[in-house]
């Protein structure tokens, strides 16, 4: 864990992650058809987060410059490999085409407390300003607008397909932006930003969950919505 970090930052982030797990379970419960078992899949997710929490808690990602490079093979390939499998395999596409977009859109609510936590971490010099809403990170817009999109886009159906696609592509770009700046602000040989305050927080428990769950889930959510909207085969979930 980060030393001398105010406890409220850690608690808010843990609460945000568990709220994300709850929304994830709600999404699977409303899948049409229910291909994945919501309980078993959620338990699998919790075990993955527990594994990441343990190795981050004991400093595996931050003991040395060499250990920091292990952040990439042990975390990013499994996460993004799953995303590629979902879109490239027949079974994976069957799964994502069953996901209800109304519930899925609400997952973006986690972006609000995440952005607040990143700002607090910046004040504590654990991430650079470029990763906050006072820098180059405008990801909070996705959290502030998602309930409007879910209600008027997928519940009331008053926002057309074009409008929903525009929102998803724009919010997808925002999450890519923070992933880009986050990775290139980490203290690795590839670092390009934040030399005055490197992105060390995401190498520690519990903030490693941002990279291992929250950010990839938001990214995946937009890809699922874009696919269903482009194919004009939307599972509304309401």
| 102-142 per-position pLDDT tens digit | 999 999 999 999 999 999 999 998 888 888 999 889 999 99
Rounded Cα–Cα distance for residues 225 and 164 (Å): 9
Q: Which range (34-43, 143-152, 198-207) has the least confidence?
A: 198-207
Give the model's pLDDT for residue 63. 65
| Closest alpha carbon to 149 in 105, 90, 110, 111 | 105
Share above pLDDT 70 across residues of the chain, in percent, rounded to a whole number: 88
Burial class (CB in 10 A: 0-12, 13-18, 19+), 137: buried
Q: What is the pTM of this model?
A: 0.91
Please state the rounded mean pLDDT for residues 184-212: 75
In whole numbers, what is the pLDDT of the chain averaged over residues?
89
Q: Is the pLDDT of residue 2 over 60?
A: yes
Question: Which residue would you say has higher pLDDT here, 215 or 186?
Answer: 215
Share above pLDDT 90 across residues of the chain, in percent, rounded to a whole number: 68
Q: Is the pLDDT of residue 36 over 80?
A: yes
Give the model's pLDDT for residue 64. 52
Please state the rounded mean pLDDT for residues 79-89: 90
| Closest alpha carbon to 15 in 149, 148, 214, 201 | 214
Q: Is the pLDDT of residue 94 over 90?
A: yes
Structure-token match 């470029």, residue found: 130
| Closest alpha carbon to 211 in 188, 181, 189 | 181
Please state the rounded mean pLDDT for residues 89-105: 96
Please state the rounded mean pLDDT for residues 159-166: 97
The token pair at 230 is 């482009």
Give the model's pLDDT for residue 61. 75
Question: Which residue would you say has higher pLDDT here, 21 or 81?
Answer: 21
């Amino acid at each position: 864990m980060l030393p001398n970090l105010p406890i409220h930052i850690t608690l808010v982030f843990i609460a945000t992650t568990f709220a994300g797990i709850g929304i994830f379970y709600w999404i699977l419960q409303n899948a049409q058809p229910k291909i994945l078992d919501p309980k078993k899949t959620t338990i699998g997710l919790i075990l993955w987060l527990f594994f990441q929490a343990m190795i981050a808690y004991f400093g595996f990602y931050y003991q040395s410059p060499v250990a920091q490079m292990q952040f990439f093979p042990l975390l990013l390939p499994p996460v993004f490999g799953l995303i590629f499998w979902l879109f490239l395999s027949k079974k994976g596409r069957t799964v994502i085409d069953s996901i209800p977009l109304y519930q899925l859109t609400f997952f973006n609510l986690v972006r609000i407390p995440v952005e607040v936590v990143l700002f607090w971490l910046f004040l504590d010099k654990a991430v650079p300003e470029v990763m906050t809403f006072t820098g180059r990170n405008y990801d909070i817009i996705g959290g502030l607008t998602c309930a409007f999109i879910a209600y008027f886009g997928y519940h009331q159906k008053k926002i057309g397909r074009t409008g929903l696609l525009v929102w998803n592509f724009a919010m997808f770009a925002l999450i890519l932006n923070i992933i880009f700046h986050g990775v290139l602000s980490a203290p690795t040989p590839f670092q390009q930003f934040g030399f005055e305050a490197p992105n060390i927080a995401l190498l520690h428990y519990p903030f490693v969950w941002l990279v291992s769950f929250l950010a990839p889930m938001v990214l995946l959510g937009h890809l699922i919505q874009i696919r269903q909207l482009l194919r004009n085969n939307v599972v509304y979930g309401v």
